[in-house]
Amino acid sequence: MKVFIKVLRILLYFLGGILTLLILLIIFKISPALWNHWTVYPQLEKERLALWEQYRKPKQIIPLRSVKGVLHAHTFWSHDSRGLLPEILDGAKEAELKFIFNSDHKRYQLDTFPRGYHGVYDGIILESGTEHSSGLMISPFDSTVVDWNKTESEIIKEIAQNGGLVTYVHSEDEHDWDDPYYHAMEIYNIHTDVKDEEGGILPFVINGTVNHKYRHWGFREMYDDQTAILANWDRLNQQRRVVGIAGVDAHNNQNFRARYLENGKIEWVGPNADTLAIREPTWFDKLMMGEPDQYGWAFKWELDPYFNSYNFANDYVFCDTLTNTNIRDHIKKGHVLVSFEHLAKAEGFQYYALNNGGSLSGIVGDSVQVGHVESIHAVSPYPVKFQLYRNGNLLDESDQDYEYKFSMNTQTGNYRIVARVFIGEEWIPWIYTNPIYVYE
């Protein structure tokens, strides 16, 4: 009997030890997330609000409307997304988007357009496109069949010559940068930014779970300046115009969700929209699942809902009319600002050149003869630090202000602006403009 009690006691100590270790490990793993929740994120919220309170509507110099949208997003048409129209539109409305140019993964080697969502839905333009595995995004803007058995350069040429838009996405990967026909490249992509994290995705999952009301700051944990990509972009622009855009790579697929099927069974859907199980509901399912929400999900744990991607990195396009083709045409002209909308709304931000008579001689993305550029200007709805880059090198920077002016000294080159806001004790990039190309 005595021996038995002794063994039991040792066993209890052992189990107690394991349990204590486990608890310590959990505390250790979630403590950064808790620190964020109680200290870091409330402070960031306060700073962001203080910035928003300094809003001043800039006067309109550029005689074109600027419309906000996203490029490179996925829907149910992709194998790794379940995104349906109601979820897409709700996310887009919350993020105040006017357009989404989707880039779904193709289903067949013969890729028929238009397909998936294509048209104007509740005033939001959805355009269908394909993201090829090599990091090529094509938007044909036409009824056509793309044959992916052709070489990439053939496809790029065909799409470009028929009026479509061709973008290199995932600019961290190899591309044929010297191809003469593509129009644009991503200078920022959320997924690119995730991939370079050293600790893997687990810290984001933990942080995202603890801090779902601060998802925008959670997303920011992975943010890095994409300096190599920007350097490559600057290099290419010294040969010809390559438009810089932001891609969101929205999938709404880093989730665990469950739904009732019509036959009474239930389906669990995991990360990358994979089916985990289809079965008769068990006691566990009944415990976890409630009434289906408006999208049909009866259980939902989400890391990347559409809104958070759609509101993270945006493209403002200066255009005449709110149509898919007019937005496309102005993207090709480089009339684009990339903004991190979760920091502040870039509506009203403008970048332009004036001639010696004080008249507008060019806007963001334009090529202007040097004799027509007396000064270049940027105006912002919030006080920012303006940085002027010439051919990729920092040329000038301002103190915190709403306006910026640089007087030209007949020097040709590509001039682009980075506007930074002061949040979290540092000047972080908020806007990247496309260059104004000043030539001889």
Binding region for Zn ion (CB under 5 A)? 131, 249
Closer of 75 and 433 to Zn ion (Cβ)? 75
Residues 6+ positions from 423 with CB-CB distance below 8 Å = 44, 47, 48, 51, 343
Shortest distance, position 241 Cβ to Zn ion, whole Å: 24
Closer of 167 and 350 to Zn ion (Cβ)? 167
Closer of 77 and 316 to Zn ion (Cβ)? 77
- Residue 63 and residue 84: Cα distance in Å, rounded? 36
Handedness of CA 71, 77, 83, 89 (dihedral sign): positive
Closer of 131 and 285 to Zn ion (Cβ)? 131
Shortest distance, position 338 Cβ to Zn ion, whole Å: 17
Backbone angles phi and psi of 203, in degrees to 5: -60, -35
CB 235 within 8 A of CB 229: no
A 10 A CB-CB count for 204 gives 20
CB 96 within 8 A of CB 387: no
- Residue 372 and residue 408: Cα distance in Å, rounded? 10
Shortest distance, position 136 Cβ to Zn ion, whole Å: 11
Shortest distance, position 249 Cβ to Zn ion, whole Å: 4
Closer of 234 and 249 to Zn ion (Cβ)? 249
Residue of minimal Cβ distance to Zn ion:
249
Shortest distance, position 92 Cβ to Zn ion, whole Å: 17
Shortest distance, position 378 Cβ to Zn ion, whole Å: 31
